[in-house]
Structure 1
Amino acid sequence: MKVGFIGVGFMGRHMARNIAAGGFEMTVFDIRKEAAEELLSMGATWAESPAAVAAASDVVFTSLPRPQDVEEVALGEGGILSGAGAGTVYFDLSTTDPDTIYRVSAAGESAGVTVLDAPVSGGVGGAEAGTLCVMVGGDEDAYLRCKPVLDRIGDKAFSLGVKAGVDAQTLFDAVKGSSGNTQSMQGFPSGLFVGNFEPGFQLDLAAKDVGLATDMGRRLRVPMEMSNIAQQRYIAGQNKGWGREASGAVAKVQEERAEVEIRTTTDEG
């Protein structure tokens, strides 16, 4: 599989190096050619534009600073879609807003190019070690074809499917493997995801504890912005009559505001 990589700076150079070390034939581009010197010494080929990278590749990756950069590199003059042949797969490893990805994906579909949104979590250390969490949204068949390359980037690669309507359990599994993992999340599959708010630690008690923390902050003149927001959510839950339910019932406040229930029919595990 011929791999193209565009953006070999702060994060990208580590990911690209791990791919190259896996024996993949690689073509690279960056606005600074010197950023690619290590990759060129490993046998990668330099291209003069994103279009030239795409023309030489079966799969193209971008790691870029801003959504505007992604759109320009993908759709602009000399961009990926102007050089990619039908059947090319394009992964954006940047953190890009949905509207931009939708525009790029729609343009890609017209050109016969499959576009996948694949933000990564794990920082520079994870990029260097090849242990990133890669959260892939898009066509599952394309994801599976390219997974051997993704496995060089991270040891946790998840296919989240289409952006809208991602199953809650699938999203949970992806976040659990990233820096977003928290202890409180561990109860989601048996609680929130199945609508089980039977009391363990009651919402009333959680509201009391957070209130004690915010009171102490006021006394000591310590800014407690997030704690104050959390306290207001718990109070809203109490006002709904959920005080004797599990503390996780506070999520229902957000569900009502967003007009969506966070449930899944996927079996746990």
Structure 2
Amino acid sequence: MITASTATIGFIGLGVMGKSMVKNLMDAGYSLNVYTRTKSKAEELLEIGANWHDDPASLAKASNVIITMVGYPADVEKVYFGDNGILKNAKKNTYVIDMTTSKPSLAIEIYEAAKKEGLAALDAPVSGGDIGAKNGTLAIMAGGDKNAYDEIAPIFRVLGERIHLLGPAGAGQHTKMANQIAIATNMIGVCESIIYAKKAGLNAEEVLATISSGAAASFSLSNLGKRMLEQDYEPGFYVKHFIKDMEIALESAHTIGMPAPGLELSLKLYKELADMGEADSGTQALIKLLAHEAELTL
């Protein structure tokens, strides 16, 4: 079983969530190699002992566990494949774990390519946003071989609380798609609920506190609803990344012959929000669009 005394972790991608995940791993005693496209994002981690690498190849050669948390499927492909990628440069028996929300089909492709190189691959996307990343309470949805999952389990337990192996390669990504589909329409409901409370002349803070403890309770209502009321649109999860996730989910839904009208509506609204210049805002910024349509001043 992989432990802090036997693992040197390479971590690629130091965005809103990745940086906190690296901090938690370092606090748990793991040695960390890091790489991200913009080195300045790594400075805080380098100051507390992380080791910088100039590219994925260098990081892969120096690590026996590699975690990726990048933006888009194209970014995943870039760091895994090619002469300078992880798969061609990692040592045999290395564990490679993609925690990006990406395509199930790409997860399977990485798994098969890794196996040919003598590597063990898991897809393990997460849910919980910046709060879950900071607190080490992420939900982790894994796909891949049970032996690899069992070996990596101690690392997952540092990063999250609700951790499950859902099936073979790709199962983690399919589970994340189910997660994003559930969130997509829930976000519309949270926005409409708050707007309704305000339009009805109620104290929206009191309404939120009341309904958050009942059948309407959800992470989005309790956490993002509060940010909406505070007009805090800083990204715990970017609008642009949520659009990417919903596009993957819709493509996957169509592939398995499933209509998804709620997902289609949410994707349409979030694209309109991005067109308003909010692509780099947090997903809670959706209330701006719906409040405008409801002729409500926030």
Give the direction of change, closer, same or farther, for the CA distance of 1:62–1:164 in structure 2 (3 Å limit): closer
Is the partner of 2:141 in helix, strand or coil? strand
1:4 is matched with 10
3-state DSSP class of the match of 1:57?
coil
For 1:93, the equivalent position in structure 2 comes to 99
Distance 1:133 1:165 in 2: 14
Deviation at 1:165, TM superposition (A): 8.1
* Aligned-pair CA distance for 1:76: 2.6
Partner of 2:66: 60
Aligned to 1:83: 89
Change (3 A) 1:55 1:43: same
- Alpha carbons of 1:110 and 1:147: their partners in 2 closer, same or farther (altered >3 Å)? same
- Report the residue type matching 2:10 in the other structure: G
Q: Which residue of 1 aligns with 2:246?
A: none
Inter-CA distance 64–148: structure 2 relative to 1 (3 Å threshold) = same
78 and 23 in structure 1: CA distance in 2 versus 1, 3 angstrom threshold? same
Separation in structure 1 between the aligned mates of residue 81 and residue 58 of structure 2, nearest angstrom: 14
- Specify every segment of 5 or more residues in structure 1 that has no aligned partner in the other structure, as ranges: 182-256, 259-269
Aligned to 2:110: 104
Q: Is the 8 A contact 1:29 1:53 kept in 2?
A: yes
Tell me how far apart the structure 2 counterparts of residues 151 and 75 of structure 1 sit (CA, whole Å). Answer: 28
Query: Whole-Å Cα distance in 2 between the matches of residues 36 and 165 of structure 1?
Result: 31
One-letter code aligned to 2:138: L
**Runs of at least 4 residues of structure 1 off by over 4 A?**
163-166, 178-181
Distance 1:35 1:119 in 2: 22
Which of 131, 135, 138 aligns to 2:137? It is 131
Task: State, as a whole percentage, how many aligned pairs show the same letter.
Answer: 38
Kindly tell me the number of residue pairs found equivalent between the two proteins: 181
Once the 2 structures are TM-superposed, how far is the Cα of residue 19 of structure 1 from its aligned partner? 0.8
Write the distance in 2 (CA, Å) between the matches of 1:58 and 1:164. 22
Q: Could you give the per-residue CA deviations for residues 157-197 of structure 1, whole angstroms, max 9, x where no partner exists? A: 1111214789xxxx7xxx89x9959xxxxxxxxxxxxxxxx
1:242-261 paired onto structure 2 within 5 Å: none
Q: Does 1:117 align with 2:117?
A: no
Give the unaligned 5+ runs of structure 2: 1-6, 184-256, 259-298
Q: d(CA) in 2 for partners of 1:14 and 1:78? A: 26
Amino acid across the alignment from 1:7: G
TM-score (norm 1): 0.61
Deviation at 1:90, TM superposition (A): 0.6
* 2:52 is the alignment partner of 1:46: yes
Secondary structure of the residue aligned to 1:158 is strand
2:28 equivalent among 22, 36, 42: 22
Q: What code does the residue aligned with 1:42 have?
A: I
Match of 1:162 in 2: 168
Q: Give SS of 2:32's match.
A: strand
CA contact (8 A) 2:111 2:169 kept: no
RMSD of aligned Cα (Å) = 3.0
Cα distance change, pair 8–164 in 1 and its aligned pair in 2 (3 A) = closer
Aligned to 1:217: none
Alpha-carbon offset, residue 148 of structure 1 = 1.0
Residue 72 of structure 1 deviates from its aligned partner by 0.7
Contact map agreement 2:127 2:139 (CA 8 A) in 1: yes
Paired residue type of 2:111: S
Q: Map 1:170-181 to 2 at 5 A.
A: 180=182
Is residue 72 from structure 1 mapped to residue 83 from structure 2 by the alignment? no
Question: 1:83 Cα deviation (Å)?
Answer: 1.4
Amino acid at match of 1:16: V
Counterpart-to-counterpart distance in 2, 1:127 and 1:180: 20
C-alpha distance in 2 between matches for 1:180 and 1:21: 33
Q: Which amino acid aligns with 1:53?
A: L
The higher radius of gyration belongs to 1
Quickly say closer, same or farther: Cα 1:163–1:109, change in 2 above 3 A.
closer
